[in-house]
Structure 1
């Protein structure tokens, strides 16, 4: 935008812009409907008389949303980011990239960093390593993350080291994100912490879930990172995520047990059910082996028993 004042005005309108030339009626109505939905159906009222009560179109007092006439005083929405990953050192390094050239009004705490980015309040929360915690402990940590960046994060940055990102890690990460609600992946971006990406199938699946959004941390490009973060904000209309105690969008887990004689094909059956290959066989073992995977959006745990009796 060549005109700085006009560009600033458009940014205050959350970058909502339509060109009158060749504008179709249906397109205009669609954008207006998006504005209404983005404000949860609320309306604005002119505070000409400061002492006068706000009256809605239904005739009830106190339901209107007051708005000041000076656009320069319009509030700027806050940017709230949560970093999710195993390594605290890498999360700290990513924080340093985010905070590069940040406003001098910077406040650092152990888990939360607050500052300002292009006139927009910024909060970054470093979530602890939740990959080895119990389910209940994970719930408590996610709830804490929401509290630290209340009313909830706009963006989730998922730090991944491709060389040791296992299928179990991916399932755990998916559970963590499920506690942020059904739209968590729409607000997420994968952050590669090492240069070697390889051909890890688990990483590719995570990238697909995140809509292909990716940032390579080793490139250390601050402007590129912030641009990608702002794109996520814009794509989600600056909405935020909230903690969900019992994710309704998650299908209940399925627990299976396979038993049979030695050589009866239990491992082959497990591979067929989970869609995986080269599972560890227990044909010559006296212990149970547990396999896990995701089948059509449902978490499946499968216990393969050793041979309990006889020959094949």
Structure 2
């Protein structure tokens, strides 16, 4: 059979178009992968914008101020709070963080000797030695760096400033950036995508509210508990615990390590009570605090939270771990809105 004459040129044109589209999609995917850190910074700026809008919108509704003036009040209020915190507790926190940096290496050495007093402990230390490929004592300086976790480099400070400034811009004109991004989609998809993006924003606002409450609660509880146990640098331990709460499950484990190491400098019984304390407050969090919060905010299934931390950590590194849960919220909402065709009233829950 001979192909029809009119099929030749048209088929070739369609084939070339499909190849060009495939190449363009692959190039965009490669570009997105190389720019993934930039996209995560933009996502962080979006979270900042949502926080600012969550404060500015109630001000606009309850006062005669315009949208821009309300946002200005929200930004000014946030700046005043941050400066006040830095003025009143910043020096104490930095002093205690520096104390952690000095005490933690010695605490690790003491904990190592206490663990090595038992056969199971010696086996565990041996396995840890094999896993690290270095002497266990070499982990002391690494433990000391935990106390300097907030001492970031120039690049990290610059990125933090970019996120804050971009967040203010996003909060000032959210529709401008949202609509500009959605113009890249085909016209027939824009209505559904707009509704999905708005649903993501609403869900992220609820999640941020719940995360903020949990961070404040866990930071306060850890500080009080560390004071009662007599641990060094209780405020710094509370700060680390509160910040680590932004990364569920993994953050709780990481935040407990400095407290347990510091307890080792005060004796075995203090270690036992410190472990009991951390287990107790996280049981309180998981069994009482989080269920109360999730009645009003977005709930992400625990297994999905854990796998999102691992998955986004593999894809994006440390920044992906930090933003894993809000990214999981976005993915859940997009799946339910665009794939399952669920309505806006459908909650994101287990």
TM-score between the two structures when normalised by the length of structure 1: 0.25
Higher-strand-fraction structure: 1
Greater RCO structure (CA 8 Å; 6+ sep): 2
TM-score between the two structures when normalised by the length of structure 2: 0.23
